[in-house]
Structures are given as C-alpha cells and as structure tokens.
Amino acid sequence: MKINLDFYKEKQEELEPIDEQIVKIIKENKQEEYETIMKQNNEIEIIMALSEIRKNILNWYPFEKNANILEIEPNFGEITGMLCEKASRVVAIESSLEKAKAIEKRHLNKENLEIIVGKIEEIKLNEKFDYIILIGILEKLDTIFEGKIEEYFEYLKPILKENGKIILATDNRLGIKYFSKTDKTGINVVNNVDKKLYTLEEILGIIKNVNMIKNNIYYPMPDYKLTNVIFTDNKLLSKKDLSRNIVYNSEDTIKFYQENLVYRELLKENNNMFKIFANSYLIEITNVPIEEKTINFVSFSNMRKPQYRIKTIMEKEKVYKYALNDNSKEHIEKIKRNIDIMKSCGLKTVDNYEENKVISKYTDAQTLDEEIMNLMNQNKRDEAIKLIKKFREEIQAKLEKTDSQNNVFDKYEIQYNKEDIEQMHFVKYGLWDLIFQNCFYIDNEFYFYDQEWQEENTPISFILYRAIKYFSRIKKYMSDEELYEIMQIDLKNIKLFDELDNKIQLSIRNELMWNVHTQGLDVIELKRKELTANHQINVLKTENNEKQNIIEQKDIEIENLKKDLQYVYNSRSWKLTRPLRKIIRLGRNKMN
C-alpha cells in the first residue's frame, strides 16, 4: 500500500466539521473499534462513513478475477478495502489529502492499494482499468470539477479498457426520500436541486451524449449508502418486498409520511413507476455491449448483528446465500445443519448447500401465504382453513418430539408455570421460522426454505404461534383467536410466547441499525408534541396564576403585619417598657 503525492498541489484544506470528526476517528481508532464508536455516537454521517453496510452496494458484484480497479473520490474509503479483496490492483484517486491519509490508515494492510492524491483531470495514468468506480460522484461533482459532466466522462473514457465498465452509483433527484422528510442535512423537496442530482432519464441522456452504453441498471434500496436490497429490471420492487426497504433516519429527521406507503400506491398504478421514483441507481456504463451472468436480485440482513449477516443473490435459476463476513460463516454452517434436520424429519425443502454457500432452486411457485390469501380473496374460506390445518399437521407430524427438560424458556431465562409447560408438546429441533412466507405449495406439497434459525427443546405451539404472528395479511379475514384455535394454541400461553419471541429477536437484532431505522419524528408526532407542550404551558400558567394569587394575599398580609408592628412601635407602652426589655435581654445573655 502506498500513497502517491506526485500530482498533489498543496493548498489550505478546509473540511466540513463532520468530515474532520470522521477523519479524526479513523486516524485514532482501529476498524474493529468502529462498531463501538457508532453506538456511542450514532450521527448518520458517522455511521455512513464507518459502517460495514456501506460495502453492500458492490460486495455482491461479479468482478472479473485479477481485474484492476480505479476508484475515484473514495471519500473515507468506505468500500475501498472490499474492492482490494475483489481485485488484483486498486488505484484510489482522492482530491483531499486529509481523506487520503484517513484511507491510508484505514486500509494500511492492503498491499494491492495505491492512493493518488489529486484530481482526475490533472493526473497522468499509464494504465487502463477493467472497472472505474464512481460512488456518489455526481452529487458533489461541482465541488471537484469545473467543467460539464460530459467532459468528466471524457477524461475517463481513455483510461477504461475496451471491455471495461464504469460503475456509477448516484441518488435520484425524484427519489421518494427527498419528498418524504427533512433533517439537518437539508434532504428535502425544497433544496435537493442544490445537490446537482439527476433523474434516470437525465443520466441515460448523459451516457448517450458521451457515446457510451448503459449496460445494466440496478435499484438499491433504501439507497446506495446503506443498501439493504437491490432490485433489477428482471425483478422490480413489488408490494410483498416493501418490508425490505429499511429506511434510515437521523435523530432530527422529520418525516412527512412513510416512504413505503408512497411506493405501495405507485405499485398499484404500475411496477415501472418504481424506476422513476427509486431513491438511488447503480448503473453499468460500457463502450461496447457486454453479455454477462444475469443477477436478478440481491438482499442483505442489515438489521442483524454482524455474526448473523448474510447476502442473498438471486440468479435466473438459482438463489445463493453467502456469509457477509468472517464472523457470519458459522451462521451459514448452522443453516446447512438446519437443512439436514429438515431432510431427516421428512420436511421437503428447495434448499441445498455446497462448501461455503446455501443454494436454492429458483421457483415461480406461490408461497403458502399467497395461496391462502388467494383462497380468501375468492371467498373460499373453508379451503383456506383446510390448508392452514394441513400446514399445522405437517409440522406436528414431522418434527422430532422430546421432553421439556432444558427447554428454550430456561435458555432465555423466562419465568413460567410448571403446569403450563407440562401441557405443551416440545420438539428437539425447534425450527421457529417455519412460517407461511417461508414455504412454497407445489403439487399439494409443502416445500420450506430460508430456515436459518433453530432452538432446541421448543414447544411446537410456539412455532405455530409465529406462523400466525407474522402472517399479518390474514388478519383482514380472520381474528387471532380463530387462528389460534385452528392451530391448537392455548390462549393462556400467548403472553409467554410473546416474551420468548421478543427475547429471541433481541438476541439477533443489531440495535444500532434498529435505532437508525426507527429514530426521527413524523409530522403527527410533532403535532402531538406541540399539543402536549401547549397543554403543559396552560397547566403551568394556571399554577402560576394560583401561586400569584397566593403571593398577592401574602403581600397584603405582610403589609397588614407591618402596619400592626408600626402601631406597636409608636405606642406609648412600647416606649415606656424599653428599659425593661433591655434588662430581660441582659438576663438571657448571662444564662447563655
């Protein structure tokens, strides 16, 4: 790893205060300390600079082996280290010396990395690259380049190999997030134009103007910064995928409305509307048309602790799951064991595995929840109930039974009545994510998938309880009580199951990302706070008026007492008894 200053023109550099803070954090801390730092200071800018999730925008991308990569304006090196792991050589051009030094410190162990300090138009490169990475460049191009955007691409074309690719990630001027909230970063509908954002059509027009070709378009959500899912033209956002759009907010975010509610309305009109209003785009730009392996969909598990994070890549015929880091490799091993458990129990699955990945056969079959909802929508309630009962019987019959010793409640330190536990039926391998959404219904048979989790000695009724809890759409047609009866779940155990489910979820969930997802206020909450504050002011005013009346009464009382005392002081008796009062005071002093 080396830093090249041959093209750097010394200047007095002024970073934004938040950038100075981030540079200081990187210079003074090791990467393994970043998670702790983010928990202590969860400013969204710091999280976006330090989080491993930043790599999601390209850590799935099928880079050619032994490629050389040019990354322009890598900022704080958020994805630079990951690129070094994918390529034989990475050159990072950064115009800020302070940021370049931070990148050097952050990726000191990357021997295949060269950092050049300077501007692309002033640097002479003696090599051409397989990939040129532009992440977030368009938003800040005015601050690093004086010419037109087309002229910037003209500098890049000569250093791109004939079959090479420019990979561009940028926000969309029409992105829903810019219309749905505001915060201290100024992200709102009023001034987003100041950021020099472009619509998809405008970007495609720029590509055409420089005589290049749009190869593939990807749609990262919630955006390219903290990507949780990536859609493509082969698999666009659908209503059932909206839960994957995990929006993030700063503490001072004011939400006008929920992004996903708008997407839901757009999808009612036309799935292609999503393309126009997606928050971000990831676009491959080439000199010539290039055919390659098609990736239809990518998802990540950002809301989990690092040891449980995986990435899922959907291709035309197969779906692959990989560990997202070294710590989560053990989680892949657990999934592989769960696949073996299902097969040994006689539960059918579309999942299989190889050494370092889980592989599923892609199917267009409907999931069980969709099958049930279709029946309900067609007024075939009895058939839907019959199918739910069949699902229950499948699980009850095939999971291996055991006793209640060392059960899952004991593991999570949950208090329970012994009599209640004795009435439950426990299974040895509690695959607690056997829910309707994780099951295909093919030729009247159940085929389960995505069974990542398992707790030993678990009540079978808890597994069935979760199938109901996470099938919210069915509640439109059936009450919880009806569903519990169909699933043979005793109502008195629901509170116990709620507590167990919450504790299991907490053991998996990344609290930092959960807080980033849930923080901020919406307009209704602000209005409620305003009304509450006004009420409190009125209460205080009332209390103040009451206290003021008491004060006024006391003032009158004091004035009356003063008058009484003055009358005494002026009286003849008070004056005549003065010598006697002196004798009394002298006597008291001698006694003391």
Answer whether residue 406 is part of any domain.
yes
pLDDT score at 295 = 94
Answer whether residue 505 is part of any domain.
yes
Q: How many CB atoms lie within 10 A of CB 292?
A: 11
Task: Report the CATH number at residue 209.
Answer: 3.40.50.150
Distance CA 61, CA 235 (A): 17
pLDDT level of residue 539 (50, 70, 90 thresholds):
confident
Phi then psi dihedrals of residue 128, to 5 deg? -110, 155
Q: Express each pLDDT in 509-523 by its tens digit.
A: 999 999 888 888 776
CB-based burial of residue 147 (10 Å sphere; 0-12 exposed, 13-18 middle, 19+ buried)?
exposed
Q: Pick the last residue of a domain from 518, 533, 555.
A: 518
Distance CA 200, CA 138 (A): 12
Is the pLDDT assigned to residue 528 strictly greater than 70? no
Print the domain residue range for 473. Answer: 363-518
pLDDT level of residue 406 (50, 70, 90 thresholds):
very high
DSSP line for 323-360: ESSGGGHHHHHHHHHHHHHHHHHT--BSEEE-SSEEEE
Q: What's the mean pLDDT in 441-451?
A: 95
pLDDT score at 589 = 67
Unique residue bearing structure tokens 């009850």: 396
Q: Is the peptide bond before 222 cis (omega within 30 degrees of 0)?
A: yes
Whether residues 292 and 373 share a domain: the answer is no
Is the pLDDT assigned to residue 143 strictly greater than 80? yes
> Where is average pLDDT lowest: 112-116, 338-342, 574-578?
574-578
pLDDT score at 585 = 67
pLDDT level of residue 529 (50, 70, 90 thresholds):
low
Q: What's the one-letter identity of residue 358?
A: V
Distance CA 106, CA 80 (A): 9
Q: What's the one-letter identity of residue 254?
A: I
Contact 195, 139 (CB under 8 A): yes
Q: Pick the last residue of a domain from 267, 295, 321.
A: 321
Answer whether residue 335 is part of any domain.
no
Answer whether residue 336 is part of any domain.
no
Q: Express each pLDDT in 57-68 by its tens digit.
A: 999 999 999 999
- Residue closest to 526 by CA, chosen among 267, 184, 188, 182: 182
Contact 403, 428 (CB under 8 A): no
Whether residues 277 and 425 share a domain: the answer is no
Q: What's the mean pLDDT in 487-502?
A: 96
Answer whether residue 292 is part of any domain.
yes
- Residue closest to 64 by CA, chosen among 133, 214, 165, 212: 165
Whether residues 184 and 67 share a domain: the answer is yes
pLDDT score at 564 = 67
Whether residues 119 and 209 share a domain: the answer is yes
Whether residues 530 and 495 share a domain: the answer is no
Q: How many CB atoms lie within 10 A of CB 226?
A: 24
Tokens of 39: 């928990």
Whether residues 489 and 402 share a domain: the answer is yes
- Per-residue 3-state assignment (H helix, E strand, C coil) for 410-466: HHCCCCCCHHHHHCCCEEEEECCCCCHHHEEEECCEEEECCCCCCEEEEEHHHHHHH
Q: Express each pLDDT in 151-200 by its tens digit.
A: 999 999 999 999 999 999 999 999 998 888 776 554 554 444 456 899 99
Contact 467, 435 (CB under 8 A): yes
Whether residues 112 and 32 share a domain: the answer is yes
- Per-residue 3-state assignment (H helix, E strand, C coil) for 118-139: CCHHHCCCCCCEEEEEEECHHH
Residue 65: which residues within 8 A CB-CB, separation 6 or more? none
pLDDT score at 226 = 95
Whether residues 90 and 174 share a domain: the answer is yes
Q: How many CB atoms lie within 10 A of CB 190?
A: 9
Whether residues 128 and 182 share a domain: the answer is yes
Q: How many CB atoms lie within 10 A of CB 553?
A: 10
Whether residues 285 and 376 share a domain: the answer is no
Tokens of 333: 């091993």
Q: What's the mean pLDDT in 197-204?
A: 95
Answer whether residue 350 is part of any domain.
no
Tokens of 199: 């619509």
Domains identified in the chain, total number = 3
Answer whether residue 349 is part of any domain.
no
Q: Express each pLDDT in 45-56 by its tens digit.
A: 999 999 999 999
Whether residues 302 and 406 share a domain: the answer is no
Whether residues 304 and 244 share a domain: the answer is yes
Q: Pick the last residue of a domain from 288, 321, 354.
A: 321
Is the pLDDT assigned to residue 321 strictly greater than 80? yes
At residue 133's C-alpha, the angle toward residues 98 and 79, to 5°, is: 60
Answer whether residue 344 is part of any domain.
no
> Where is average pLDDT lowest: 27-31, 269-273, 341-345, 581-585?
581-585
Distance CA 118, CA 99 (A): 11
Share of the chain above pLDDT 90, in %: 68
Distance CA 33, CA 31 (A): 5
